Structure 1
Amino acid sequence: MTERAEAHHQHRDVTGGWLRPSVFGAMDGLVSNFALIAGVAGGTADTRVIALGGIAGLAAGALSMAGGEYVSVASQRELAQAEIAVERRELRQHPEDEQAELAQTFVDRGVDRELAAEVARQISSNPERALEVHAVNELGVAPGDLPSPLLAAGSSFLSFAVGASLPLLPYVLGATNLLVSAAVSCAALFAAGAIVSAVTARSWWFSGLRQLVVGAVAAAVTYGLGNLIGAAGL
């Protein structure tokens, strides 16, 4: 056997419960709090008010993200568990029909009918293994690999807080105008987008620029609104 034949490769986790909420939380925290701070700064020059708005945005956003992710993932998990229970009941009550259905899925994928029937028979001899195969084929999930609501909520909370703290940090350290916060936020936006490219197929510069443009546009719009409201004395 050659070394080439023995070579193995590993795929990154594309279904885990941590990546999406972590990435989304950090991006959302950075963009939303940068935009919020820019909007407040557009309406007032009082750095204490701006900092207070940023702190409130960080706390409210992190808690909202965590709560939303927990409920969303918990609901998704409960739906999957309910459907898995249906499949378990069908396997118990109609084993022959389920075995024939499994064999047909192999046939549909190009396996010889006799071989497909034998594979389905062997899989069906173990109820838990049969349940896992049916669940993956029909639901796209494995019974023992469902996403964790707590993991998703914790990832969202921490990542949002980290992202939201970056545009706020200059004001906490004594900055007196929006330019410092904007510079830090824009650099962080580009860096965050570039980092995300490590787990996607996009180039680092494309991902960085895309995230920078999204955040800058959001901040510019809210700054303009804050400026209009501040000028109107509302």
Structure 2
Amino acid sequence: MTDPFQPLSHADDAPPAAEDSHHHADVSGGWLRPAVFGAMDGLVTNIALIAGVGGGGVSAHNVILTGFAGLVAGAISMGLGEYTSVRTQNDQVAFELAKERRELERNPEAEAEELAGMWIERGLPADLARQVAIAVGRNPDEALRLHAQEELGVNPAEQPSPWVAALSSFLCFSGGALVPLLPYLAGASQLWLALIVGGVGLFVAGALTARFTNRKWYLSGLRQLVLGLAAAGATFGIGRAIGISGIG
């Protein structure tokens, strides 16, 4: 039996799994934001769309047709939008990096002083800051990386992929938009059932985002559920007021 008063060894002093506890999620790979946004947008868009046409009294067949039209159009739009957005952002970063590289080549002393000045403002001793900045300047790639991080807030080696962003958004929007259509595809014709299934999807999707944040899962789920139901309520009211079933 272990003596509780016996001093612990150095191995026991070390916190268990210390190395594993400091791992960070990949926040720059370009997939998380478009995936979450795509899934949420797909759910909210098609729930609201189905609520709107369903509130107007259209048939189940027309609800399915409208829902799939919204799914395809929305998924393509989201994918193209994410690709264009991320590609434009990367092109802008590349342009700024090229400009910074030229400045480092033309006037390395001034760039080193600029970098040192940033560190001095953060509390680093002036002499040490200048020594480190001059030493870093001897390695052009490392100098560019540090200047990009300090001045632009980006890491040149960790730019998101526009293709990953586009595919993540396309697939997740499609998956989210399909959820409220499932009861109709299974043969049901009640709008309230589709809204319940869609609401469950909203809550689950919102709760899953808590895995990547510090929020409580049920609060994240409830937030997304409330926002989605608000959108569905607005379109349902519009559909009921217009009376789509009376057109044609």
**TM-score interval, smaller chain:** over 0.9
Percent identity (aligned): 51
State the match for 2:236 in structure 1.
223
Deviation for aligned residue 1:16: 2.8
Deviation for aligned residue 1:11: 1.9
Deviation for aligned residue 1:6: 9.3
Amino acid paired to 1:139: L
State the match for 2:163 in structure 1.
150
Specify every segment of 5 or more residues in structure 2 that has no aligned partner in the other structure, as ranges.
1-9
**Structure of greater Rg:** 2
Q: How far, CA to CA, are the matches of 2:17 and 2:231 in structure 1? A: 51
Q: Does 1:64 align with 2:71?
A: no
Out of 113, 124, 147, the residue aligned to residue 100 of structure 1 is 113
Q: Does 1:78 align with 2:78?
A: no
Deviation for aligned residue 1:23: 0.3
Residue deviations 1:36-87 (CA, integer Å, cap 9, x gap): 0111111124111010000000000000000111111111111111000100
Q: How far, CA to CA, are the matches of 1:226 and 1:17 in structure 2? A: 37
Q: How far, CA to CA, are the matches of 2:212 and 2:120 in structure 1? A: 34
CA RMSD of aligned residues (A): 1.7
Residue aligned with 1:11, SS: coil
Deviation for aligned residue 1:192: 1.0
Specify every segment of 5 or more residues in structure 1 that has no aligned partner in the other structure, as ranges.
none
1:45 and 1:177 in contact (8 A); partners too: no
Q: How far, CA to CA, are the matches of 1:137 and 1:228 in structure 2? A: 55
Aligned pairs for 1:161-180 within 5 A: 161-180=174-193
* Larger CA deviation: 8-17 vs 168-177: 8-17
Out of 201, 208, 216, the residue aligned to residue 188 of structure 1 is 201
Q: Does 1:7 align with 2:18?
A: yes
Q: How far, CA to CA, are the matches of 1:222 and 1:6 in structure 2? A: 51
Q: How far, CA to CA, are the matches of 1:78 and 1:232 in structure 2? A: 49
* Larger CA deviation: 143-152 vs 155-164: 143-152
User: TM-score by structure 1 length?
Assistant: 0.95
State the match for 1:50 in structure 2.
63
1:5/1:231 Cα in 2 relative to 1: closer, same or farther (>3 Å)?
closer
